[in-house]
Amino acid sequence: MALQINNFIAAHGIDARKMQCISDTRTLMTMVESRMGVAILPQSALTVPHQDIICQPLHGEFARWDIGLVWNEKIADPVRDSFISQVTAMLAPA
């Protein structure tokens, strides 16, 4: 999955210098809920609803499995918001 995500990021020109790879989806969700960023993970990892977490499905090349972008909407974070805008803009229909 890490290779698939790296390929997705590279194919879309996203700056990955400040990204980390964490294999435990529960840890990722806890980090998102506690204001530590966003995560790209399999859609299947979102089996338990999270009140403050938004999931945006990702599509396109290198997104051949159900993945989504998650973040805590109650947190103000301009860097995160810029990243989300970049990703969602790439996915908008032309």
Determine contact, residues 61/11, Cβ cutoff 8 Å.
yes
pLDDT value at position 9? 84
pLDDT value at position 49? 67
pLDDT value at position 48? 66
- Per run of 10 residues, the mean pLDDT along the chain (length 94 residues) is 81 80 80 84 71 78 75 90 88 74
User: Distance of alpha carbon 28 from its chain centroid, rounded?
Assistant: 10
Distance CA 81, CA 83 (A): 5
pLDDT value at position 66? 65
pLDDT value at position 52? 77
